[in-house]
A and B are shown apart, each in its own frame.
Chain A
């Protein structure tokens, strides 16, 4: 179990820097078509910001800010956006992930529809990667002790 650090300097600087790291991760996702980046890289940067929160603030604080239900929903919604875009193109009588068919809904030409299709797929990938990375790290950092068991061990140690 990662315990809360007693150091005030690292905690303050982390609290100042984490929103800007997340903003930069969103920038990397959205500009994937032009500069180095894309869905996976931006998702990793977003996940790294939450891992910094876990390292500096301890397990319980991080868990209270990022509960388990939110992470599960995020990963599911991310995959749903990816597959949903593909199936939408299938429903509109094209191939799977044939973004040119989206031009019928969006009322633009085929090139713009392809660009927007790729952007939506990248957003889905970014959300899924962030959620899965943070979820795996939170599960590994307990060291095999469930939160309920640790409280019981503390109570028995105090009674003894």
Chain B
């Protein structure tokens, strides 16, 4: 039973780390502020939820795992809201939107 718990927790943690890595690469490589917000807003939220579910499974059937799942619910509600707030501020301040440039030399 304990090995099944450990294996499941390890799988969820690895999935969370994969999405963290993807979100970080997106934050570094995307060309514009709004596209970077896509990467960090969605990727980070999913990664945090997966990691917290993995840690709750590892901890067993406790009060502690209920608290960890409460953090997951709070992050699921609060992080998209803060992304929306900062992107709304960006739009109202008039940041320019990146557009794809036409490729030259097309036949």
The yes or no verdict on A and B being binding partners is yes
| A49 nearest CB across to chain B (Å) | 13
A13 near B88 (CB under 8 angstroms)? Answer: no
CB within 8 Å of A: which of B15-36? none
Q: Mark A2-17, 1 if CB is under 8 A from B, else 0.
A: 0000010110010011
User: Chain A binding site: helix, strand, loop or mixed by DSSP?
Assistant: helix
- B residues near A17, Cβ cutoff 8 Å: 74, 77-78
Whether A10 pairs with B85 at a CB distance below 8 angstroms is yes
Confirm or deny: B6 has a beta carbon within 8 angstroms of a beta carbon on chain A. Answer: no
- A-B Cβ contacts below 8 A, count: 16
Considering the complex, give the chain A residue whose CB is closest to the CB of B84: A9
Contact B81 A9 (CB under 8 A): yes
Residues of chain A contacted by B78 (CB below 8 angstroms):
13, 17
The answer to whether A16 and B77 have CB atoms under 8 Å apart is: yes
Q: Which residue of A lies closest to B88 (CB)?
A: A7
**A10 adjacent to B77 (CB under 8 Å):** no
Q: What distance in Å separates the Cβ of A11 from its nearest Cβ neighbour in chain B?
A: 10
**Chain B residues positioned under 8 Å from A20 (CB to CB):** 74
Instruction: Please give the distance in Å from B26's CB to the nearest CB on chain A.
Output: 23
* Chain B residues positioned under 8 Å from A7 (CB to CB): 84-85, 88
Interface centre among B77, B78, B84, B85 (most CB of A within 10 A): B85
A and B contact pairs by CB, cutoff 8 A, 16 listed: A7-B84, A7-B85, A7-B88, A9-B81, A9-B84, A10-B81, A10-B84, A10-B85, A13-B77, A13-B78, A13-B81, A16-B77, A17-B74, A17-B77, A17-B78, A20-B74
Residues of A whose CB lies within 8 Å of any CB of B are 7, 9-10, 13, 16-17, 20
Residues of chain B having any CB pair with chain A under 8 Å: 74, 77-78, 81, 84-85, 88
